[in-house]
Structure 1
C-alpha cells in the first residue's frame, strides 16, 4: 500500500487536508427551497477523525454527499468552498470527481446490504473498484480483494472472496464495505452511520478496526452519527449540527465534558451515562427538529431551548448567534449561542444537578 504513503508526504504535517468554508447546500422542491446546509465551516487534518453528530435532518449526510459530489446537480444549489488537499471540489467536473471518488476519497454507507449488489460476489465488487482506479488485471484485482478482506478481519478470505453478500453476517458485510472503501487507499474516508444497524459488540469491533486502519494509513475520517456514545469512542474532534448549521465544535473531551450549547447539553442529557449512576432519568429534548423549508429566525434551536427566555430581549429568536469560543475554554472549542459565560455556568450546572437529583 505504498500509494497512500507517497501521496501523504506532500502535504505539510498538521495542515488541513480537508477545508470546508461557508458551505451552503439548498434543494429546490415543489414546496420551496430546502436549506439543508446553511453556512458550514470546518477543517480536518490527516490522521484525525471528525465526528459529526446531530438528529436526523440536521444536515450531516447532505454535507458529506456534497463533498463527494453525489448530490442531484439539477436540483441542488451549492455555494462556499470545499478544498481537498488544495483541490476545489464544488466546481470540479463529474469526470474529475469520479477519479477522486474511491481513489482519494471514499464513503462507507449505513446499510451494507443495500449498498452491495446481490448479483455479484463480494470479491468481484471489491475487485471492480480496484480495477476501475488502477487498471489492474482481474487476477490482480482478486488478489487485492483477498488481501483487503484479510485486513478487515474476514476469516478465510481466500474462500469468502467468492461468497455473495447474503452469505455474510451484518457485521461481516460492513467489514466488506470497509474493505471496498479502502481498497484504493483513499486519504479521506467518510463513514455515514456505519454501525447503526449492528449490535454493540460488532459496533465496537468496527470502530476498533477503523482506528487500526487509520493508524496504519494516516487516513482522515469523517464519522457521521446521531450517537454521542459512538462519538466518545472514535472521534478526535466533534462538530454538532442542528438545522443545517454548526452549533458547537471542538475537541472530543471538551465538547462532551463541558458543552457550550444547549443543544449539545440536551443530546448528552438524552443518553445514558456509562460511568454515572444507573438510576438517573434521561431527559429527551422537547419538540421536533425545524423545517428547513421555513427555518426559525435567529438561533434555529431557540423554539426548543430551555434557556432562550433567560437570555432576554427576544435575542435568540431574532439574531443568529456567531460561532465563537467562550471565556475559560480553548480557542478550538466554539459554540453559536447567545448565553453569556456566566449564564452558561449557572444554568448548565442547575440542569446537570436536576438530572442527578
Structure 2
C-alpha cells in the first residue's frame, strides 16, 4: 500500500538551543517528505542533527530550552507549536519512535510488560488483561524468549540487545502510521537485526506505515530504505532514491561515507579511506558549505566560493554542492568509484 502524496512533510525545520556559549543550530533549514508505505533512510555522522530533527516531529524538545520553527505536517495536521494534549494523542499511537538508547528510555521502576502495555491501554482503551496479552504478543514478535514470563521482568534483567527489542515492541504496540526508528539495530547481532528489519517491513506492508530509519549503517539503508537523505552539520546535503544515492552519489560527503566503509570483496590489506578533519561547530557554523573545510574538491570550484557561499539543495534528486552535475559524475567515476572496487 503506497501513495505518492506525502504523509509527513517537514519544511524549513530549524531547532536551535540557547547555551551559555551561544546558540547551537542543531537543525538549520531541513526539508523532506515521507509517503505512506515508504521508508526514508537518514544517514550522517553523529552530531549531524538526525535525532534532533526527528524528535522535533513528535514535539519531544522542551519549549523552554529549544526554539523550533518551520512546518511539520502529519496527515494534514500541523504539529509545529501544537498543544501538548494534541501531541500526547499522537505519540505512541499515530506516530511512535524507537529511541537510540533503551537503557535511558526505559524506566527502571516498572516491568517491561507494564511499559509496553501503557500506550496500548491509553490509546486503545484496552483492559489490563488485554493490554498484558498484547505486551506478551509483542515481546514474542520481537524475538524475546519465553515472553509470558519475561513480561514481568524489569529492564535491568535484560541484556542490551533485548532491551532494544523491548523498545521496538513498545513502539509497534499500537501499529503506528509513522514509525521513527533511531538506530534500531545498533545493539543487536546480525541475525536479530534481520528479524527486526523484517518485522518493520511486515508492519509497513500490513498497515502502509511511513518509516524513518536513522542509522550509520549504509547496509541497512540499502536493504530497507526507498529514499535516502544525507545530513551534515544540521542540514540535508543530498537526497534521492536509495538506488540513485548509493549507486551514483553526488556529494563529496556521501562519497566519503562510502569510501570509509569496509567491503567484503576488498583486499584484506587495503586500508579504509577516512574523511579527514572534524564536523563543524554548530555554535559557529561556516558561512559557506559546511563540508568545505574537509572537502578535497574545493579547488575544483575555485574563487573561494565553497567557503563563502552556502549551496542550496535542489528539489527532488540532487546535492547541495557547488560542483556541477558533470563534475560530480566525472569525479565520482574517475576518483571515487575505483576506491569502491
Q: Normalising by structure 2, what TM-score?
A: 0.94
Matching of residues 194-213 of structure 1 within 5 Å: 194-213=184-203
* Matches of 2:118 and 2:325, distance apart in 1: 54
Paired residue for 2:166? 176
Paired residue for 1:336? 320
Q: 1:190 aligns with which of 180, 184, 190?
A: 180
Q: How much does 1:214 deviate?
A: 2.0
CA RMSD in angstroms comes to 1.9
Moved more, 197-206 or 53-62: 197-206
Matched, 1:64 2:54: yes
Paired residue for 2:291? 301
Matching of residues 194-343 of structure 1 within 5 Å: 194-324=184-314, 332-343=316-327
Paired residue for 1:5? none
* Matches of 1:171 and 1:215, distance apart in 2: 25
Conserved 8 A contact 2:13-2:31: yes
Matched, 1:91 2:81: yes
SS of 1:124's partner is helix
How many residues align? The count is 341
Q: CA, structure 1 residues 266+180, in 2 after alignment: closer, same or farther (shift >3 Å)?
A: same
* Matches of 2:61 and 2:301, distance apart in 1: 39
SS of 1:324's partner is coil
Conserved 8 A contact 1:280-1:355: no
Moved more, 316-325 or 53-62: 316-325
Q: 2:120 aligns with which of 122, 126, 130?
A: 130
Moved more, 110-119 or 41-50: 110-119
Deviation track 1:158-197 (CA, whole Å, cap 9, x = no partner) reads 2222222233333332222111111122111111112222
Q: How much does 1:235 deviate?
A: 1.2
* Matches of 1:141 and 1:39, distance apart in 2: 41
Matched, 1:352 2:308: no
Q: How much does 1:202 deviate?
A: 2.8
* Matches of 2:269 and 2:340, distance apart in 1: 9
Moved more, 140-149 or 20-29: 140-149
Conserved 8 A contact 1:52-1:238: yes
Gaps of 5+ in 1: 1-7, 326-331
Q: How much does 1:275 deviate?
A: 4.6
Matching of residues 29-44 of structure 1 within 5 Å: 29-44=19-34
Q: How much does 1:122 deviate?
A: 1.5
Q: How much does 1:91 deviate?
A: 1.8
Runs of 4+ in 1 over 6 A off after TM superposition: none
Conserved 8 A contact 2:17-2:25: yes
* Matches of 1:205 and 1:356, distance apart in 2: 29
Q: CA, structure 1 residues 338+114, in 2 after alignment: closer, same or farther (shift >3 Å)?
A: same
SS of 1:103's partner is coil
Q: 1:107 aligns with which of 85, 97, 105?
A: 97
Q: How much does 1:104 deviate?
A: 0.7
Moved more, 145-154 or 76-85: 145-154
Conserved 8 A contact 1:110-1:195: no
* Matches of 2:264 and 2:53, distance apart in 1: 30
Q: How much does 1:217 deviate?
A: 2.3
* Matches of 1:205 and 1:136, distance apart in 2: 28
